[in-house]
Amino acid sequence: MRKQRKEDLERHVTEVNTLLKKANGEVSEGGEMTENGDEEDEWEGFKEPGPEDINRKEEYINEDKYTTVTIEKVGISKEGFSKAGEDSTEESDDDKENNTEAVHGSKKRVWTKEKPRSGQPKKKKKKFRYETKAERKVTRLKQSAKNRAQANARKGK
């Protein structure tokens, strides 16, 4: 009795496995399993559209101001943006290091115990002083005149 149940269970397991594989498309019509079932219908993702040339210039009008906008295609990578015509592989790592050194000045300075600018005299700090009543009045008049002129320009007078 145990032997019969064990055989029934094994037969049932094989039937379920074949049905599952048939549903996944891994079994041929004759009930035989294909050897390369995974490679036949493997999904490779969406195809990216080909490069589209979108370099153009457009003019926009915004409140009587003409603005020219240039639209260019750029590539995005871990290193940053690159324009469509550029080849980022031209520069080697050594060239990039030399460029960064040129931008940041000289190489790293050797660490010493003395301060780097100890020979130069320190600049004196300008002492803080409150404005007098007359100075405050003059700055207030200047600001109000400036604001009035900007308001008239906005209104179009």
- Tell me the per-residue pLDDT of 76-117, one tens digit each, with 9 for 90 and over: 777 877 776 665 455 545 555 555 555 555 667 777 777 766
State the pTM of this model: 0.23
3-state class (DSSP) for residue 156: coil
Return per-residue pLDDT of the chain as tens, 157 residues.
999 999 999 999 999 999 988 888 765 555 555 555 445 667 877 777 766 667 677 777 777 777 777 777 777 777 877 776 665 455 545 555 555 555 555 667 777 777 766 667 788 888 999 999 999 999 999 999 999 999 999 998 6
Task: Give the up-direction half-sphere exposure of residue 39: CA atoms within 13 A in the CB hemisphere.
Answer: 3
Task: Please report where in the chains the tokens 């039937």 appear, as a residue.
Answer: 15
In this predicted structure, what is the pLDDT of residue 138?
97
